[in-house]
Amino acid sequence: MNFSVKPMRFLADTLAQPNETPAREQLLPDGTTLRLLDTGLLRVSPSQPGTHRVLISCGIHGNETAPMEIVDAIVGDIVAGELTVNNELLIVIGNPPAAVAAERFIEENLNRLFSGKHQSSRSLESLRAAQIEQVTEAFFTAGDEPRLHYDLHTAIRGSQIEKFAVYPYLHSRTWSAPQIGFLEQCGIEAVLFSKQPSGTYSYHTSHLHEADSFTIELGKVRQFGDNDMTNFSAISAGLRRVIAGQELFKQTPKSIKLFAVVEEVIKRSEAFQLHIPAEAKNFTEYPKGSLLASDEGYEYRTQQDGERFVFPITNVPPGQRAMLVVAPTELDPID
């Protein structure tokens, strides 16, 4: 381990050595330890145990720059002594080689490879998913504190609802009203409840580690340097409160919109077609009976007024998700 005196520049160092970064450690004057485990994998430990174990990930898709810049500013403030760390923290930049290439991925979509789905291929992203799973497990199992995971993204397509979170499928667990209240305070306008398991990082940590986990979409993809960081001040402030141990998760949801996934449209064959305009925004609303997608022996027509599509994409391999269809829902607060 290299006890370097040169301060850590997390994002710059990661992009400079995207495939492998020598492990190094930095001790701050207040006793906080930063340990760079490998490229884009940073553990931060306060001198005293905290109340939560907090995982913040970004760059799972390499071209989604704003979340990486948000996280880099947080690490910069920790290193500078301007943000006190009072909870165990793991920060992940998911796909550094793709970030350098300014691409969503190099070989395949990293966010379809978690929960062991990486075992069926030897792509760059599969190896990375396996490594991230290992580091995540070591982090979450090192203590008994409640586990949190915020996986930050931006979207390819414009959206009628700019900032929203996806709540992974919970199986028999119940959803957390305080977490949704916290997201609302972070400027998140809507939450989508998934209805089945998936290969996403947030589903993995939710299901295997019973973390309160979310995929968080923060707006439209832009290049490094083109992001208006004032647009992310609420989420940035929220994450900083969590890191500093100041967030008490006492907020109940007020006006945040809730949507249930009513259909996960899977591309079955190369005959798959979307019947929505290329420029249509996520969350565009359709009346009952509208044809949204078709494939060999399949079509999806909206089942009720007010259904909306999210994340439509046609250039995925058959067998992968091509679109989500969601509808407004109300859930009884349970947690």
Query: Does residue number 281 form part of the binding site for Zn ion (CB under 5 A)?
Result: no
CA 63 to each of CA 49, 131, 155, 318: distance values in angstroms, whole numbers, following the listed order: 35, 20, 10, 23
Comparing CB distances to Zn ion, the nearer of 74 and 152 is 152
- Measured from each CB, the residue nearest to Zn ion is 153
Judged by beta carbon, residue 34 or residue 66, the one nearer Zn ion is 66
**Size of residue set near Zn ion by CB under 5 A:** 3
Segment near Zn ion (CB under 5 A); pick from 87-95, 151-159, 248-256, 325-333: 151-159
Judged by CB under 5 A, does residue 112 bind Zn ion? no
Residue 60 CB, shortest distance to Zn ion, in Å, is 6
Active site residue 217: yes
How many angstroms separate the CA atoms of 218 and 12, rounded?
22
CA angle 68, 204, 170 (to 5 degrees): 115
Whose Cβ is closer to Zn ion: residue 89's or residue 110's? 110
To the nearest whole angstrom, how small is the minimum distance from the Cβ of residue 2 to Zn ion?
32
Of 79 and 216, nearer to Zn ion (C-beta) is: 216
User: How far is it, in rounded angstroms, from Cα 203 to Cα 166?
Assistant: 10
Contact 205, 140 (CB under 8 A): yes
Tell which positions 292-321 bind Zn ion, by CB under 5 A. none
From the candidates 162, 217, 247, 263, which is the catalytic residue?
217
Please tell me what DSSP assigns to residue 230: G
Q: Is 61 annotated as a binding residue?
A: yes
Residue 64 marked in a binding site? yes
First to last CA, the chain: 43
Concatenated DSSP letters of 88-142: EEEEEE--HHHHHHTSS-SSS-GGGSTTTGGGG--SHHHHHHHHHHHHHHHHHTT
Q: How far apart are CA 39 and CA 330, in angstroms?
A: 42
What is the rounded distance in angstroms from the CA atom of residue 140 to the CA atom of residue 146? 9
Name which position in 153, 157, 204, 308 contacts Zn ion (CB under 5 A): 153
Q: Does 61 bind Zn ion (CB under 5 A)?
A: yes
Q: Which residues are annotated as a binding site for Zn(2+)?
A: 61, 64, 153
| Catalytic site positions | 217
Binding residues vs Zn ion (CB under 5 A): 61, 64, 153
